[in-house]
Structure 1
Amino acid sequence: MHLARLLKMGEEVPSQGTSIVRRPDAEWLLGIRDGTLDHESLVQLAEPMT
C-alpha cells in the first residue's frame, strides 16, 4: 500500500507541483493493504512507475 501511495505521490509532485495528503484513491490503497492484489499484480503496477 505504501509503495503504491509513494509512487503515485512521486508522479503528482512534478506534474501538479504539490502532494495530495488526503488521498482520493484511499479505498484503492486500503484494498491493496487488505490483499486485493497479489504480489505479481503489485510488481506489474510498480514497474512502469519506477
Structure 2
Amino acid sequence: MSSKKTPEVKPEPEIKIVEKKPAAKSASSKSGGAAKTTTAAAKKPASAKAT
C-alpha cells in the first residue's frame, strides 16, 4: 500500500505544478483583463448614480 501511494503521490504534485504554471499565467492574464473590465464597469454605474 505505501509503495503504491508513493508513486501516486509523486506524479500528482508534478502534474499540479505543471498545471499551475500555465494556469497561473492564464489566471493572471484573465485577472488583469477582468480587473480592468470590473473597474470600468464599476465606474460606469457610479457615474450613472452620481448623474
TM-score by length of 2: 0.30
> Who wins on radius of gyration, i.e. which is larger?
2
Tell me which of the two structures has the higher relative contact order, counting C-alpha pairs closer than 8 angstroms and 6 or more residues apart.
1
**Which has the larger share of helix?**
2
TM-score by length of 1: 0.30
